[in-house]
Amino acid sequence: MRRRCLALGAALALVGCAHSSMVLLPDEDGGHGEVTIVKRGTETVVDQPNSRANLNGSRTTVRPLGPKGLGAREAMLVSGLPPPPKSYSLYFLEGTTEMTATSAPRLEEIRTEIASRPGAAVEVTGHTDTVGSEADNDRLSRQRADEILMLLVSRGFDRSIMSASGRGERDLQVPTADNVSSPVNRRVEVIVR
Amino acid sequence: MLRESLILGLLATLASSPDTAEIGRIKSSIGPATIERGADSMPAPVGQQLIAGDWLVTGANGRMGLTFVDNTRFSVGPDSRIALKTFEYDPTTQKGSFVAKVERGSIAIVSGRINKSGGRSGMQIETPDATLEPHGTRFIVVVK
């Protein structure tokens, strides 16, 4: 197919010869990233959302999608994307697995979210504050995640769709200096995918 | 009893070895959609776990939606063959490497954490003619 395209060149291009292409879309939150196309050692950066770049042919050209927008098949691909993961923060009374009064109702929200997602998977991620060494906090955050995972299992959540991980002090909810005790940063995040 | 514990031990080893670790799950599956794993070809029902090295294969009118453990999302269109060549991810550092190859067909991708880890892209999408390196974005690839 590709060879025939090359042989017939411009004539076929006029009637819509099959081109491989990449379309850069805006992000779901309205921003956008970029895509670098590497072809035979040449790099082309596509940084304008709603633009299309051809992938075959000797030269990469980038054009705006224009008023026609996406093709019907491309639009179907976009609508077939699974929903973005959703994240919930849970806080616990210090040194316990007892949830704070404001966190406790989150469990039912999480349950509902899991039920609404076919093939759901859940990641329980622990976070610490900046007290202690990084290595200790990695271990602590993972232990905390394991504890809360078991708590969720005891409340009827399906073990087979859950995993635990620890982020240590890498992802502070409220940035602090090192060695600062912070109840807001000591939390467990439940990510529903 | 001894044999049972040996088998259990073996299963535990398999479950924790990186080659068989879950990298993502099927979230939607319509029409002819299969996963090729080594010499096996299996159906791709919703909830099916994926591992590195799997091929995503759809026939005419086949479609698949997937979410990976780093939050990357795929929507695979009809008549596609897509290899999940490399998937390495550390949930603690949220860094890793994801290489997929679109041999033919179409796919929409929302890149995930691997793609946002530091200056390097961490993600590569290979096509027969060019390699794409996304930087935190949503895009469509069609290979004809």
B140 to A60: CB separation less than 8 angstroms, yes or no: no
Find the range with the poorest average confidence among A17-31, A46-60, A170-184, B102-116. A17-31
Q: Residues of A with CB below 8 A from B144's CB?
A: 1-2, 18-20, 56
pLDDT score recorded for residue A9: 46
Express each pLDDT in A142-178 by its tens digit: 999 999 999 999 999 999 999 999 999 999 999 999 9
Q: Which segments within chain A are labelled E, that is strand?
A: 21-25, 34-39, 42-46, 51-54, 62-64, 86-90, 122-127, 162-166, 187-192
Q: Residues for chain A: how many in total?
A: 193
Half-sphere exposure of A75 (CA within 13 A, CB side): 6
* Interfacial B residues in 20-49 facing A (CB < 8 Å): 22, 25-28, 46-48
Q: Which segments within chain B are labelled E, that is strand?
A: 24-30, 33-37, 40-43, 49-50, 55-58, 63-68, 73-76, 81-90, 95-110, 123-126, 131-135, 138-143
A35 to B134: CB separation less than 8 angstroms, yes or no: yes
Strand order in the sheet with A86-90: A86-90, A187-192, A122-127, A162-166
| Best mutation target, A27, A48, A51, A81, to test chain B (most B CBs within 10 A) | A81
Express each pLDDT in B50-98 by its tens digit: 999 999 999 999 999 999 999 999 999 999 999 999 999 999 999 999 9
Q: Which residue of B has its CA nearest to A81?
A: B75
B63 to A80: CB separation less than 8 angstroms, yes or no: yes
- Two tokens, residue A110: 């999480």
- Pick the closest to residue B25 from B41, B39, B44 (CA basis): B44
Q: Which residue of B has its CA nearest to A126?
A: B92
Q: Which residue of A has its CA nearest to B105?
A: A20
A55 to B28: CB separation less than 8 angstroms, yes or no: no
CB B104 within 8 A of CB B143: yes
Minimum distance, in Å, between the CA of residue B113 and any CA atom of chain A: 12
Q: Residues of A with CB below 8 A from B56's CB?
A: none
- Pick the closest to residue A12 from A3, A25, A22 (CA basis): A3
pLDDT band for B120, please (50, 70, 90 cuts): low
Q: Residues of B with CB below 8 A from A168's CB?
A: 92
pLDDT at residue B9 tops 90: no
- Pick the closest to residue B82 from A39, A162, A120, A77 (CA basis): A77
pLDDT at residue A2 tops 50: no
A36 to B129: CB separation less than 8 angstroms, yes or no: no
B67 touches chain A (CB under 8 A): yes
Q: Which residue of B has its CA nearest to A20?
A: B143
The count of other CB atoms within 10 Å of the CB of residue A161 is: 18
Cβ-proximal residues to B111 (8 Å cutoff; 6+ apart), any chain: A33, B72, B123, B134, B135, B136, B137, B138
pLDDT at residue B104 tops 50: yes
Over range A27-42, report the average pLDDT.
92
pLDDT at residue B17 tops 60: no
